[in-house]
């Protein structure tokens, strides 16, 4: 990608951003991979650690004038290879841009820099009786900017929405260093095209988010009731989750683990889960009326063949939620993993689980699968040996992606496209929309220097 010599690019960066540029190979190496398992071959040119919008603009002007690719990165917790940087590329790390600039309780908003962690933000908001709802499993180590770049989801999405529904406005630096403001501080705003929504989930390919105006929620008032129910099959558990939705209930959390996942969590924690059933559905109800709602939800789970147990004890509730959060680290003890992410309409969830099991048998693979049952988002996790994803795993994953689309679903509910799913993107979008999206990318980034190779390849 570099038009002028690499040494000149580094010299220009160091001159413009003294003390904010790293070139030590030991410090560059961690930026060549993320939690997806994908690793670039070779090191990036440099890592820039901006502390202000002006620093980001300076880096972008140098990248633009020299034709050098620039990869924006938060905490590196992504699962699609969207922030992996390789030879000839500048990494722009937003981790040092981690300040809360404003909290407005009367407007229920906060203005923050993109490098602040979800967990740190919510701890700071607690004294105001407010919180920011996006709740990915990595919330204690993932950045707000990364959440926005990927339109992150999590356990609370079914009730409180994904990241796009919790952002009011953004300041964005374009590839050539220009600064634009998109969105509104107001509750309503329909001026022109919604470029704020376009930026959310764009994976760093359209611009660099440098300031975020976030929509906050009041802290939930009322009771919190957690229900755990074992089922004889994952299909029965999925159908029970559908019954809860069909009845009009909107739990804060509704999570499902299949037998493979239960086996892993049992070994990992030492708690006997697999002896109690072949699938586990975890439901949490919160707010006013939570006790009555939980009772009716428990009745539905029981009618669906489950054995629900209910608790209002905060410690026990957290323990049950922690079992779900331990699913991925438990699965990772089996070997190398490829964590996938499909979503289907909620009434097709049991069919999706059945297809995962068929795929396991057809390819002779191990594919533990956990699910955000409240919104139909499955995470089939392929287990294999070695550092390279075997061809059989890619073929099996391709079959799952095709089946998700056939069921009326999508390739990715929350992880994004990045490097790992770009080969299948056109299958979902179709040729006309695919080309339109490529044209949108070219309008914002005509020289293709922002995260090149991601999403569209």
pLDDT in tens, 246-290: 999 999 999 999 999 999 999 999 998 988 899 999 999 999 999
pLDDT in tens, 211-227: 999 999 999 999 999 99
Write the CB contacts of 112 (distance below 8 Å, at least 6 apart in sequence): 99, 100, 101, 121, 144, 211, 212, 214
Is the pLDDT score of 1 beyond 60?
Answer: no
Separation between Cα atoms, residue 75 and residue 348, nearest integer Å: 34
Contact by Cβ (8 Å): 254, 244: yes
CA dihedral 243, 163, 341, 355 (to 10 degrees): 20
How much is the pTM?
A: 0.93
| β-pair partners for 283 | 227, 254
Dihedral (CA of 255, 258, 261, 267) sign: positive
The whole-number pLDDT of residue 274 equals: 86
Q: pLDDT band for 415, please (50, 70, 90 cuts).
A: very high
Closest CA to 98 of 143, 148, 56: 143
Q: pLDDT band for 138, please (50, 70, 90 cuts).
A: confident
Q: What domains appear along the chain, each with residue ranges and CATH number?
A: 6-93 (3.30.43.10), 100-218 (3.30.465.10), 223-406 (3.40.462.10)
DSSP 287: E
Dihedral (CA of 200, 204, 205, 208) sign: positive
Q: Are strands 89-93 and 69-73 parallel, antiparallel or unpaired?
A: parallel
Contact by Cβ (8 Å): 379, 371: yes
- Outline where 133-258 has alpha helix (H): 144-150, 157-160, 195-199, 234-246
91 phi and psi angles, rounded to 5 deg: -95, 130
pLDDT in tens, 21-74: 999 999 999 999 998 878 899 999 999 999 999 999 999 999 999 999 999 999
pLDDT in tens, 145-164: 999 999 999 888 889 999 99
Per-residue buried b or exposed e for 211-228, using 16+ beta carbons within 10 Å of the residue's own CB: bbbbbbbeeeeebbbbbb
pLDDT in tens, 379-400: 999 999 998 899 999 999 999 9
What are the Cα distances from residue 397, in Å, to 51, 333, 414? 40, 21, 16
pLDDT in tens, 323-367: 998 999 999 999 999 999 999 999 999 999 999 999 999 999 999
Separation between Cα atoms, residue 95 and residue 82, nearest integer Å: 16
The whole-number pLDDT of residue 155 equals: 87
Give the chain's mean pLDDT: 95
The whole-number pLDDT of residue 4 equals: 59
Is the pLDDT score of 2 beyond 50?
Answer: no
Contact by Cβ (8 Å): 408, 345: yes
């Amino acid at each position: 990608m570099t038009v002028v010599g690499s040494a000149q690019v580094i010299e220009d960066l160091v001159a413009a951003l003294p003390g904010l540029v790293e070139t030590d190979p030991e410090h560059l190496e961690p930026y060549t991979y993320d939690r997806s398992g994908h690793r670039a071959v070779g090191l990036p040119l440099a890592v820039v650690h901006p502390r202000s919008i002006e620093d980001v603009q300076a880096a972008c002007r140098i990248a633009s004038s020299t034709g050098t690719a620039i990869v924006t990165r938060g905490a590196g917790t992504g699962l699609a290879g969207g922030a992996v940087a390789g030879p000839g590329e500048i990494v722009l790390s937003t981790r040092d841009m981690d300040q809360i600039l404003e909290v407005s309780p009367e407007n229920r908003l906060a203005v923050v820099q993109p490098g602040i962690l979800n967990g740190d933000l919510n701890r700071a908001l607690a004294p105001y009786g407010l919180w920011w709802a996006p709740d990915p499993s990595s919330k204690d180590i993932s950045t707000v900017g990364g959440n926005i770049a990927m339109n992150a989801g999590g356990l609370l999405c079914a009730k409180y929405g994904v990241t796009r529904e919790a952002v009011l406005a953004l300041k964005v630096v374009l590839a050539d260093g220009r600064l634009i403001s998109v969105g509104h501080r107001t509750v309503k705003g329909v001026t022109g095209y919604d470029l704020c929504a376009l930026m959310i989930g764009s994976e760093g390919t359209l611009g660099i988010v440098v300031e975020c105006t976030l929509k906050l929620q009041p802290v939930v008032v009322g009771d919190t009731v957690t229900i755990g129910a074992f089922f004889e099959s994952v299909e029965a558990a999925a159908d029970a989750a559908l019954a809860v939705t069909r009845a009009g209930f909107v739990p804060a959390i509704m999570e499902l683990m299949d037998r493979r996942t239960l086996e892993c969590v049992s070994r990992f924690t030492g708690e006997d889960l697999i002896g109690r059933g072949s699938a586990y559905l975890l439901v949490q109800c919160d707010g006013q009326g939570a006790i009555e709602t939980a009772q009716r939800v428990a009745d539905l789970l029981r009618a669906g063949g489950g054995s629900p147990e209910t608790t209002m004890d905060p410690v026990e509730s957290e323990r049950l939620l922690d079992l779900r959060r331990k699913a991925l680290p438990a699965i990772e003890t089996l070997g190398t993993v490829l964590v996938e992410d499909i979503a289907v309409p909620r009434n097709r969830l049991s069919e999706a689980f059945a297809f995962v099991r068929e795929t396991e048998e057809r390819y002779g693979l191990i594919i533990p699968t956990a699910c955000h049952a409240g919104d139909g988002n499955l995470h089939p996790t392929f287990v294999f040996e070695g550092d390279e994803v075997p061809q059989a795993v890619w073929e099996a994953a391709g079959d799952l992606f095709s089946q998700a689309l056939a069921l009326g679903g999508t390739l990715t509910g929350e992880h994004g496209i990045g490097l790992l799913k770009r080969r299948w993107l056109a299958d979902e979008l179709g040729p006309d929309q695919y080309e339109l999206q490529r044209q949108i990318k070219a309008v914002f980034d005509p020289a293709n220097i922002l995260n090149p190779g991601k999403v569209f390849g």
